[in-house]
Amino acid sequence: MTKSFRTMLLASTVLAGPVLAETTLTIESWRNDDLTIWQDVLIPAFNAQHPDITVVFAPSAPTEYNASLNSKLEAGSAGDLITCRPFDASLDLYTKGYLADLTDLAAMANFSPVAKSAWQTDDGKATFCVPMASVIHGFIYNADAFAELGLTPPKTNAEFYAALDKIKEDGTYIPMATGTNDQWEAATMGYQNIGPNYWKGEEGRLALIAGTQKLTDEPWVAPYRELAKWKDYLGDGFEAQTYPDSQNLFTLGRAAIYPAGSWEIAGFNSQAGFKMGAFAPPVQAEGDTCYISDHTDIAIGMNAASPNAEAAKVFLEWVGSAEFAKLYANALPGFFSLNSTPVAMEDPLAQEFVSWRETCQPTIRSTYQILSRGTPNLENETWNASANVIKGTETPEDAAKRLQDGLASWYDPQK
Amino acid sequence: MAQGRPVRWHIAVFLAPAVAVYTALMIIPLFGTLAQSLFNLEAGARVFVGLGNFRRLFGEALWSDAFWNALGNNLWFFLIHMLVQNPIGIALAALLSSPKLRMAAVYRTAIFVPTILSFVIVGFVWKLILSPIWGIAPGMLDAVGLKSLFAPWLGKEEYALTALALVSVWQFVGIPMMLIYAALLSIPDEVLEAAEMDGITGWSQFWKIKLPLILPAIGIISILTFVGNFNAFDLIYVAQGALAGPNYATDILGTFLYRTFFGFQLQTGDPYMGSAIAGAMFGIILIGVCLYLFGIQTRLRRYQF
C-alpha cells in the first residue's frame, strides 16, 4: 500500500518533472525600455514561486513590433507569450488563430469589463489577453520654471494660453516641447490628449463609432483648432524635431511644458534635474467636466501554437494577480495597473496622473477601436493630419474633412 | 550520324551551384511575389483576382495618389543622384587620376569610406548634423553669417526629399568615383601621348579623349544608380520612419511597399496589395533596364586597345 503509493509518487514526479522542469517561456514585446525591469524585478519575483519555469523577455523596437510579430507568428517562430497591442492589432491575431482564448483564466475575474474591452471580441464573449496597464495623457511641466515665473498649473484653456504667453515673453524657456518630425506625438500627445474635453470622452467616441457624429463636427474639429495655435509656442525648427529631441529639450530644462503620456514618468524621473508637476488637459471653461484619455495600452496573451501552454497559463495567472500589479505599477510609474485591486504607488508624479481618475471621466483614444480597420487607416491619417495642422500646412477644417472622407470610404455607419 | 556530339555534362555541373542558389534566393521569391499579387483575401479565403489588385492600385484614388506620389518622389530621388552624384563622381575621378595630385590614396579612401557605412549610421549622423536643436549645421552657418539660410530641412515638405537625396549622394559618391577612376586608369598612355602630340591637353583632352572612352563605365553607373534608387528604402526609413514624413514628402516606392506589406502601427499588413506594389516596382525597374540595354548600351561605341 505505502510502497505502491510511494512508487506512484515517484512515478508522478518522474513523469511530471520533464514537463515543467525545463520549460522556457519567451515573451515577445515592444517595450525594450522595460528590459531591466523584467530581468531584475518581475522575472525573479515570478521565479520565487515557480523556480521550474525560465522566462526570457525578448523585446523588439516599438515601430517594428507589429510587423515582425506578424511575420514570426506566420512562420511559427514567435515566443510563447505575446505582449498585446490594444484592439484591432491583437483582435486580428486572435481571429487568425494566433492568440489563445484566455476567457477561462481565473485571473480574468480581477479585471473590470472596461479594462478587458481592448482585448475582447466585438461581442465581448472571448478575452484573449490579460490586461496589464493603461497610460494617461496630460501635460508635465517644469515646476522650478513655473515657480520662477510665478505661474500656477492652468486649469482652463484661457489659463493655459496665458501661461504659454508668459513663458514666451520671458524667453528663458521654450514654452512647449513637441515636434512634428515623427508625427505620432502630434496625434497622440496632441490631438488625443486635449480632444476628449471637446468630444466629451466616451460619449463622442461611441457616437463616432455608431455614425451619429462625424469627424467634421465641431467637437472633432475644435481640438485641431487648438493644435493650430500651438505652433507659436514650439521651439525653433520644431518641424524637424523628433520625439527624443522633445524629451531631451524638456529634461535638460530648456522647455517648460511637455505634452505627455504617463509612460514618460520613469524616464523623466531619472533624466530631469528639476522638480516636475503635471496638469490634466485644460477644460474650455471653469467648472466644466474634465475628460482624460486613460488608454488601455498593454496586455499579455498566449501564442496558440506554444508547446508550453501549461507553463504559459501559470505565468499569465501570475500576471493577473494583485502581486504583479503592485510590482509592475511601482517598477514602471506611469503604467497604471488595470487590476481591480487598488495599487499603492510611491511616485508623486504618477500619483498626480492617477488622481485625475477620481475627478475626470476616462476614455480611450478615439481611433483605436474599430475605426482603424480599413484603408486609409484612421490612426495613421490622424498622425499625418495632426502634424500638418500644427505646422500650419493644412487647416483644421481641411484636415477633418480629409479624415472624414477617408473614414466614410470604408466604414458603413459613416457613409 | 550515329556519332552524335557527346552530352557536355560538365556545363550543367559547373552551372548548377550558382543556378541553384540564385533560383532559391531570387527567382522563386520573385515569381512567388508576382503570383501573390494576383490573389487577394475575400471573406477570409485566398482567391484569384487576376489583375484586380493592380486595378485598385492604379484606379482607386486612395491607392493611386499614394503610388504616384511615391513614384514621383522616387524619380526626383534618382534625378538628384544622376545630376549630382555622377558628375561629382566623374570630376573626383578625373582629379584623382591627375598625376600631379599628391596623397591621392588618402583622398580616395576618405571619399570611399562612407559607402561602406551602414544606412543606420549615415541616417542617424546626418539627422544629428541637420538637427535644428543639437545639430552643427545651424552653428556652422551662423559662424559664416548665413544663419538665415538654415531651415529644419528634414521637417519641411519642400526640402526633405532633396536633403535626404543629397545625404545619399554623400554616402555613395565613392562608387562612381572608383568605377570611373578604374576606367580612366585603363586608358593606354599611347592614346594620351598621341593626343598630346596633336596638341590636345588639359581640359580639352578630358572632354575629347577621356570622356568618350569612359562612356561605357558611365552607362553602367547610371543603370546601377537607377536600380539602386528604385529599390531604395533604408535611408528614408531610418531618417523619417515608415510614414515617410513630413506629409509623405519623402515617401518612395520602398517605404510605400513596406507600409503596405508589413503594416504600420494600427494598420495591419496587406501582403496581396504589397505584392502588387512590388510587382509594379519590378516592372518599372525592368522597363528602365530594358530601355537602357536596348536603347543606349547597344549604341555606345567601344574602343579596343
Among A179, A380, A394, beta carbon nearest to B264: A380
Is the CB of B246 less than 8 angstroms away from the CB of A391?
yes
**What gap in Å lies between CA B121 and CA B238, rounded to an integer?**
9
pLDDT, position A3:
54
Task: State phi, psi for A345 to the nearest 5 degrees.
Answer: -115, 145
CB within 8 Å: B155 and A179? yes
Average pLDDT in chain A: 90
Q: From A67, which residue of chain B is nearest by alpha-carbon distance?
A: B262
pLDDT of residue A7: 54
DSSP class of A49 = H
pLDDT at B97 (0 to 100)? 87
**Which residue shows C-alpha cell 465641431?**
A218
> How would DSSP label each residue in A260-326?
EEGGGHHHHHHH--S-EEEEPPPBSSTTPPPEEEEEEEEEEEEBTT-TTHHHHHHHHHHHTSHHHHH
Cβ neighbours of B157 in A, within 8 Å: 393
What is the model's pLDDT at position A17? Answer: 42
* Interface contact B241, partner A, CB < 8 A: yes
Chain B hits for A402, Cβ within 8 Å: none
pLDDT tens string B234-270:
999 999 988 898 999 999 999 999 999 988 877 878 8
Give the pairing type, strands A174-176 and A81-84. unpaired
Q: How far apart are CA A318 and CA A45, in angstroms?
A: 10
The DSSP code for A111 is B
User: Who among B153, B247, B265 is closest to A393 (CB)?
Assistant: B247
Q: Considering chain B, what percentage of its residues have pLDDT values greater than 70? A: 98
Same domain, A379 and A408: yes
* Chain B residue closest in CA terms to A371: B266
Q: Is the pLDDT of residue A16 over 50?
A: no
Residues 6+ apart with CB under 8 A from A204: A196, A198, A213, A219, A220, A366
Range of the domain at A277: 136-294+362-414
A128 touches chain B (CB under 8 A): no
Kindly determine whether residue A237 and residue B133, on different chains, have CB atoms separated by under 8 Å: yes
A89 and A176 belong to one structural domain: no
Weakest-pLDDT range from A10-24, A183-197, B149-163, B183-197: A10-24
Decide if B152 and A387 are in contact by the 8 Å CB cutoff: no
Do A172 and A288 reside in the same domain of the chain?
Answer: yes
Cell of A37: 525591469
Could A384 and B267 be called an inter-chain contact, meaning their C-beta atoms sit closer than 8 Å?
no
Inform me whether the C-beta atom of residue B141 falls under 8 Å from chain A C-beta atoms: no
Superfamily of domain B51-299: MetI-like (1.10.3720.10)
* A353-412 residue pLDDT tens: 999 988 999 899 999 888 988 888 899 999 999 999 999 999 999 999 999 999 999 999
- Kindly tell me if the per-residue pLDDT of B64 is higher than 90: yes
pLDDT at residue B4, rounded to an integer: 72
How far apart are the CA of A187 and the nearest CA of chain B, in angstroms? Answer: 13
The CATH number given to whatever domain includes residue A23 is 3.40.190.10
- Single-letter residue type at B279: G
Give the pLDDT band (50/70/90) at residue A344.
confident
Q: What is the DSSP string of B257-280?
A: HHHHHHEETTEEP-HHHHHHHHHH
- Maximum C-alpha span of chain B: 89
Q: What is the pLDDT of residues A137-180, one digit of tens each?
A: 999 999 999 999 999 999 999 999 999 999 999 999 999 999 99
Q: Please tell me the pTM assigned to this model.
A: 0.83
Query: A57-98: per-residue pLDDT in tens?
Result: 999 888 778 888 988 998 899 999 999 998 888 998 999 899
Closest residue in A to B244 (Cα) is A182
Contact A250, A177 (CB under 8 A): yes
| E strand or H helix at A79 | none
Residues A251 and A173: their CA atoms lie apart, in Å, by: 12
A123 found inside a domain: yes
Q: How far apart are CA A339 and CA B250, in angstroms?
A: 43
**Alpha-carbon gap, residue A290 to A356, rounded angstroms:** 9
Q: Is the per-residue pLDDT at B83 higher than 70?
A: yes
* pLDDT value, residue A2: 52
Residue A168 CB partners (closer than 8 Å, separation 6+): A175, A232, A233
Q: Would you place residue A14 in the very low, low, confident or very high pLDDT band (cuts 50, 70, 90)?
A: very low
In this structure, the strands spanning A336-337 and B39-42 are: unpaired
Amino acid at A2: T
Rounded Cα–Cα distance for residues B87 and B96 (Å)? 14
Give whole-number Cα distances, A41 to A326, A327, A330, B96, B286, in Å: 11, 8, 10, 60, 55
pLDDT at A271 over 70: yes
- Backbone φ, ψ for residue A363 (5° rounding): -145, 175
* Contact across the interface for A387 and B153, Cβ inside 8 Å: no
- Mean pLDDT of the region B31-36: 94
**Whether residue A376 has a cis bond before it, omega within 30° of 0:** yes
- Say whether residue B243 is in contact with chain A using an 8 A CB cutoff: yes
Report pLDDT for A61: 83
In this structure, the answer to whether residues A105 and A253 fall within a common structural domain is no
Residues A99 and A155 in one domain: no
Q: How many CB atoms lie within 10 A of CB A366?
A: 27
Partnered with residue A195 across adjacent β-strands are: none
Same domain flag for A44 and A189 = no
pLDDT single digits (tens) A319-329: 999 999 999 99
Flag whether A333 is in a domain.
yes
B151 contacts on A by Cβ (under 8 Å): 237
Q: What's the confidence (pLDDT) of residue A25? A: 93
How far, in Å, CA of A292 to CA of A281, rounded?
7
Q: Which residues in chain A have Cβ-Cβ distances shorter than 8 Å to B269? A: 67, 70
Beta-carbon separation of B241 and A182 below 8 A: yes
For B155, the closest of A67, A180, A406 (CB atoms) is A180
Is-contact B107 B96, C-beta < 8 A?
A: yes
**Under DSSP, is residue A28 helix (H, G, I), strand (E, B) or coil?**
strand
d(CA A234, CA A250): 12
Do A248 and A208 fall within a single domain? Answer: yes
Q: What percentage of residues in chain A have a pLDDT greater than 90?
A: 71
Q: Are residues A186 and A68 in the same domain?
A: no
Chain B partners of A248 at a C-beta cutoff of 8 Å? 133-134
Task: Indicate the helix (H) or strand (E) that contains A60.
Answer: none
pLDDT score of B98: 83
Pairing relationship of beta strands A23-29 and A81-84 according to DSSP bridges: parallel
Q: Which residue of B has its CA nearest to A93?
A: B268
CA angle at residue A164 from A162 to A167, to 5 degrees? 110
Which residues between 34 and 73 in chain A have a beta carbon less than 8 angstroms from any beta carbon of chain B? 63, 66-67, 70-71
Specify the residue for cell string 492604379: B58
Q: Say whether both A40 and A124 belong to one domain.
A: yes
The H or E element containing residue A136 is strand A129-142
| Phi/psi at A362 (5° precision) | -85, 150
* Minimal CA separation from A389 to chain B, in Å: 11
Flag whether pLDDT at B118 surpasses 70.
Answer: yes
Are B195 and B205 in contact by the 8 Å Cβ rule? The answer is yes
What pLDDT shows up at residue A19? 46
Q: Which three cell numbers stand for residue A242?
A: 523628433
Interchain CB contact of A181 with B (< 8 Å): yes
What pLDDT score does A4 carry? 58
Which residue in A has a C-alpha nearest to residue B261's C-alpha?
A67
Give percent of chain A above pLDDT 70.
95
Q: Which of A66, A239, A406 sits opposite B155 (nearest CB)?
A: A239
Q: Is the dihedral of CA A158, A159, A164, A166 positive or negative?
A: positive
Closest Cα partner for A292 from A159, A194, A154?
A: A194
pLDDT by residue (tens digit) across A118-133? Answer: 999 988 889 999 999 9
**A189 and A113, same structural domain?**
no
Task: Count other Cβ atoms within 10 Å, centred on residue B125.
Answer: 13
Report d(CA A121, CA B260) in Å as an integer. 25
Residues A286, A149 within the same domain: yes
Contact (Cβ atoms closer than 8 angstroms) between residue A152 and residue A164: no
Res. B107 pLDDT band, cuts 50 70 90: very high
A208 and A238, same domain (yes or no): yes
Distance from the Cα of B150 to chain A's closest Cα (Å) equals: 9
Pick the last residue of a domain from A286, A319, A346. A346
Confirm whether A5 is domain-assigned: no
Q: Is residue A2 part of a domain?
A: no
Q: Is the pLDDT of residue B65 over 90?
A: yes
pLDDT for the residue A21 = 52
Q: How far is A174 from chain B (nearest CA, A)?
A: 12
Does B92 score more than 80 pLDDT? yes
User: Domain total for chain A?
Assistant: 2
Neighbours of B95 (CB within 10 A): 14
Contact B263 A66 (CB under 8 A): yes
In a domain, A69, yes or no: yes
Predicted confidence (pLDDT) at residue A287 exceeds the cutoff of 50: yes
Q: Which three cell numbers stand for residue B122?
A: 549615415
| DSSP per-residue letters across chain B | --SPPPP-HHHHHHHHHHHHHHIIIIIHHHHHHHHHTTEEEETTEEEE-TTHHHHHHHHSHHHHHHHHHHHHHHHHHHHHIIIIIHHHHHHHHHHHT-TT-SSHHHHHHHHHGGGGS-HHHHHHHHHHHH-TTT-SHHHHHHHTT-GGG---GGG-TTTHHHHHHHHHHHHHTHHHHHHHHHHHHTS-HHHHHHHHHTT--HHHHIIIIIHHHHHHHHHHHHHHHHHHHHT--HHHHHHHTTTTSSTTTT--HHHHHHHHHHEETTEEP-HHHHHHHHHHHHHHHHHHHHIIIIIIGGGS-----
